[in-house]
Structure 1
Amino acid sequence: MSLRIQRIRLTDFRNFSDAEVTLASGMTVLVGHNAVGKTNTIEALQLLTTGTSFRHPRSSELLRIGADTGRIESRIEGDGRVLDVCCTITTSRRTFSKNGKTCKAADLLGTLMSILFCPDDLSFVKGSARIRREELDGFGSQAHPGYNRVVKTYLRSVEQRNSFLKEPDIDPSLLDAWDESIATGAAVLLGHRLSLFHKLAPIVSRIYSEIASGETLECRYVCSAGSDVEQMNKEELREHLWTKLHEGRSDDIRRQQTLIGPHRDDIAFLIQGKDARAFASQGQQRSIVLAWKMAEVELAQTLVGQKPLLLLDDVMSELDETRRAAMCTFIETGVQTVLTTTNLGYFSPSLLDQAKVVTFDG
């Protein structure tokens, strides 16, 4: 049996003074008007599983107005284990604990994977490349120990090199040490990314075709250092990236930023051979992000041996009937799901019969 969140308690968190929600092992539907705390509950669940929030708030913004300290507590059970995960919030920081022992936010990654789908994700296809990179890296950070550290170390090196590039009258030879560090980190990160991407991409394509009545979708990883990197081992990657950095040094100095590396890569989607960013309809864009999220859930079970928690924040209102039906069918596969809605009419009576419905009155 996979791990499941049994309950979550919110104390002086966002709009809650003290509230507890018991979750079903299958689907829990949080229903109510807007601004009553449904999305806040989704945010709390994400904080306890990933250590981060999709809203990227300051700690003080997580506290109920007038409170100095808040808490989010959860009980996770399964596989013969019981885990109590807690987040304590003050105006300046958040601290986490597992079974009473203080831990870092990064230590929560992989305890119970969670996949979030919210209205902001609808910019996944046509939004900036950073959105797609962060989606892939966020999933990888939960699925693989050490992935998150690799990402952060690499991005820190790039940030430091960029700061150096902004200094006046720099000596280009002083970039040698930075280039060596960045090339080494980039090779490790790119290796992780490509491995994960090539596991995920065929699942995304298959699910998209099922949703979109047989339309084909190709997912491509677009590397700023050239397409030939996919055939290289880690050492070859490092040497190739170092060479590219060295060759592009004058451009980097002129632009005052590092123009080559995984932080400049992208993911492209081709529908029937056409670039989705240029040609995809709104419906096709929604099908791509829906297929991506469903693929993450499927691959997560393969990679870590248990089903993740699926968090759906007000997405049914953004999907048409066909895509809602596809999502509902997927939910019925036994993934623990917590979703929010203002309208139970989006769900079939048979699905609601299997679900736990929690009404939020505000």
Structure 2
Amino acid sequence: MSKLLMTPGPTNIPTEVQNILGQDMIHHRFDDFHKIMENLNEKLKKIFFTQNDVYTMTCSGTGVMETAVVNLFSKGEKVAIVNVGNFGKRFVQICKVYGLNVIELEYNWGETYNINDIKKVISENNDLKGIFVTHSETSTGVLNNIKAIGELTKNSDILLIVDVISGMIVNEFRFDEWNVDCAVAGSQKGFLLPPGIAFVSISDKAKKALYKSDLPKFYFDLKVTIKYYNEKKETPWTPAIPIIRAAEVACDLLLKEGIENIQIKHTKLRKYVEDEVQKLGFKLFVKNPEARGNTLVTVYREDNLDLTKLRDYIDNEYNITIAGGQGKYNGKILRFGCLGLLTIQDFNNLFKKIKKYIEENN
């Protein structure tokens, strides 16, 4: 039996995509690969809802997070970072490593940001160069309102940089309409792909900053990436060829179903999971319904049930993997991923097993 991944990434991969991953290798400096790259870019633009090119890089999501930092800013420049969990904190860590002047807007895990805090930062800092925010905070299940921040930055020189690594596909995201300046995404979440490649798109406003940045970069130099794509439809460094080929097929599947239709389906799935887990005695970690995203449902309990033992039992006995907490919530929460091919039937099957475990161990 194959392992069923009910986590917020990586996800199980459709057969059509698996078949491409197993094909014979091609070379990345020849026309067949060039055509794949060009076709993939056009499909990604539809998924990002942008007229800008979407560049494919061989790295993890953290790699494109670092790409956004080192390409759009210079040492000592002031940026604000919305931190509502583990991955908002990661932006803080990256920016500090590269010597940026960081204003950290930190919130309790399970909460979204306060728009008035962002308005205050903008009004009090005329030298603010950028705002970083996570779309879907994978460590908590919070979905941040990106559009509202874009309304604040659209007529300014402030860049809006968004991590949509786990938010893309299953939650609404519109690059152009929401006035986003840089968005970074990863293959292993909503894209139905294995880990290994990531995507980045930048606005015209961000491109101006690109050529002013003085932060060190080599592998992650977007100027080189853009040059290679524009001139050759290639990547500057050896890419993950099988995953890029599979990405073209995965995008076909997503676009055929329709991005809006996928979001409707996953909204229904997420709400169903929320209702059913509460029947099992779990509490929802994200209290504000407006801040709950479709990527995952995060829960906790008020009794003494050992959640780590529950996860291990479900994984070892049934080959079903669910995610636990990160950081200070390790062992204290469960994170049920709602990405990819998962269905209500899959969750019904899981919840029967969890109910049996709770009855026998609580």
Specify if TM > 0.5. no
- Which of the two has higher C-alpha Rg? 1
Greater per-residue helix proportion:
1
